[in-house]
Each structure stands twice: as C-alpha cells, then as structure tokens.
C-alpha cells in the first residue's frame, strides 16, 4: 500500500478536481488541498504539470500525477488496501466503465456546456441530442448498476465519479437554461442516482452548491470581453 504525503492542486469549482477529491475520500486518504487561482498560474503548478499546465495535479511522495482520469485510476491502484475498488476487478467491466466515462467526457459533457452559449434557434436541436445521450446513459446505468444504487453497484465507482462530479455545474446550467436535463419520467434510474451520489459521505462536502455555481457563472458573464 502506498503511503506518504499527498497534496492536490486545484479549484473547488472544477469537476475534474472534484473527481480527485472524491476518489481520495472513498479511499480514506488524508490530503492537503492547495487552491490554485490560475490567473496567474503558480510556479508549483507549472513545475508540477509542465506539459498541460492544468489542474488537477496529485502530488504523492513528491511525484506528480496529472489528468483527472489518470489520477483517479492511480488512486485506486496506489491505495488498494483502503476500502473498496473504484474500478471493477473484472477486465470487461473495467473496459465498460472506461468506455462510459470517456463517452461522457468526449460527447455528452461538451453538449451540456454548449447550453450556456447556444443560439435560441439552435437550442431545440441541442437539447434533443442531449436527451439522446442521457437516454444512452440511462441504459448504461441499468446494466452497470444491476438494480443497485450506483453505476458501481453497491458503492460509488469510476463512472459515478466521472459523471457525478459535474452535477454542480449541470444543475446550474439547468437553472440558467430553464431546461431540466434529468427528469424522472425520462431517465428514472439517473434521476434517483443523482440524489444518492450527492448525499454520499465521500461527495457531499466536495461539490459546491448550485447557488455557488450560479454566482460564479454570473461573475464570469459579467466580465468584459477582450476587444
């Protein structure tokens, strides 16, 4: 089992950073959180992630691990004796978990973010594509959860962390756009899963509230654009 000092470079409002925090909480790993303002980026961040210069960064025994999906898998492998596994033990189930996590990051998440700026005449088509994507996730939840609380079954797993960490932003987008994305009538599995995930002890003190995200989005929109 890995041991030693653990630090996380990040921002509380980043779902990618939240993934790392949740994974460490699930493994009961104590860590120091170092807040990064990003404007300007700190020397520690630039030194720790010289390739992408982005958060999150996990520093474990003075070794730097970057990119949230890589970090979460590292945490699962480095602290094998701490609680349950984040990724399934079966190779096929692990591949399925990675597939749906990548699907969310590469396909569905960008469409949700687009709700902030899409033109009114294009909104209906975008919402339809999002609904289709959520329908696929609903099917994945039914298959992966096998009737239990989480994508990971009885406990939070890899897919749960990757998708669930975005729900602070997603609920804020819902409020701003006036469009409810996850509805009980359309995606009952996901609808019930959201509350279970957000109320889990490893999660509930990590993800900021919807109101906090709305305040941040308002500040972002109020900033003048460069001419």
| The two three-digit tokens of residue 192, written as one number | 């019930």
CATH at residue 40: 3.40.30.10
Residue 225 has pLDDT above 70, yes or no: no
Contact (CB, 8 A) for 54 and 66: yes
68-112 confidence digits (pLDDT tens): 999 999 999 999 988 889 999 999 999 999 999 999 999 999 998
Q: What is the pTM of this model?
A: 0.93
Contact (CB, 8 A) for 116 and 173: yes
143-190 confidence digits (pLDDT tens): 999 999 999 999 999 999 999 999 988 888 888 778 889 999 999 999
Residue 18 domain flag: yes
Structural domain range at position 163: 91-214
* Rounded Cα gap, residues 147 and 141, in angstroms: 9
pLDDT bin (cut points 50, 70, 90) of residue 222 is: confident
Among candidate residues 184, 202, 196, the one with its CA nearest the CA of residue 26: 202
Among candidate residues 81, 93, 107, the one with its CA nearest the CA of residue 28: 81
Among candidate residues 61, 76, 1, the one with its CA nearest the CA of residue 31: 61
For residues 114 and 49, state if they share a domain. Answer: no
* Rounded Cα gap, residues 191 and 91, in angstroms: 28
For residues 106 and 177, state if they share a domain. Answer: yes
CATH at residue 192: 1.20.1050.10
For residues 54 and 104, state if they share a domain. Answer: no
* Rounded Cα gap, residues 27 and 161, in angstroms: 13
| The two three-digit tokens of residue 85, written as one number | 């596994």
Q: How many domains does the chain have?
A: 2
For residues 50 and 74, state if they share a domain. Answer: yes
Residue 1 has pLDDT above 70, yes or no: no
């Amino acid at each position: 089992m890995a041991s030693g000092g653990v630090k996380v470079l990040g921002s509380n409002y980043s779902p990618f950073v939240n993934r790392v925090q949740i994974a460490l909480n699930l493994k009961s790993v104590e860590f120091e959180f170092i807040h990064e303002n990003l404007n300007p980026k700190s020397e520690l961040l630039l030194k720790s992630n010289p390739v992408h210069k982005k958060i999150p960064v996990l520093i474990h025994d003075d070794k730097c691990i970057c990119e949230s999906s890589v970090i979460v898998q590292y945490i699962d492998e480095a602290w094998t004796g701490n609680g349950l596994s984040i990724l399934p033990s079966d190779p096929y189930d692990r591949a399925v978990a990675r597939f749906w996590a990548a699907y969310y990051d590469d396909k569905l998440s960008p469409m949700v973010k687009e709700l902030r700026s899409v033109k009114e005449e294009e909104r209906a088509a975008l919402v339809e594509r999002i609904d289709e994507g959520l329908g696929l996730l609903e099917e994945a939840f039914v298959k992966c959860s096998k009737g239990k609380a989480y994508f990971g079954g009885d406990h939070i797993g890899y897919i749960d962390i990757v998708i669930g960490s975005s729900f602070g932003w997603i609920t804020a987008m819902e409020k701003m756009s006036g469009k409810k994305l996850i509805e009980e009538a359309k995606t009952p599995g996901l609808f019930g899963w959201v509350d279970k995930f957000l109320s889990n002890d490893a999660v509930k003190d990590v993800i900021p509230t919807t109101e906090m995200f709305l305040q941040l989005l308002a500040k972002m929109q109020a900033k003048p654009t460069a001419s």
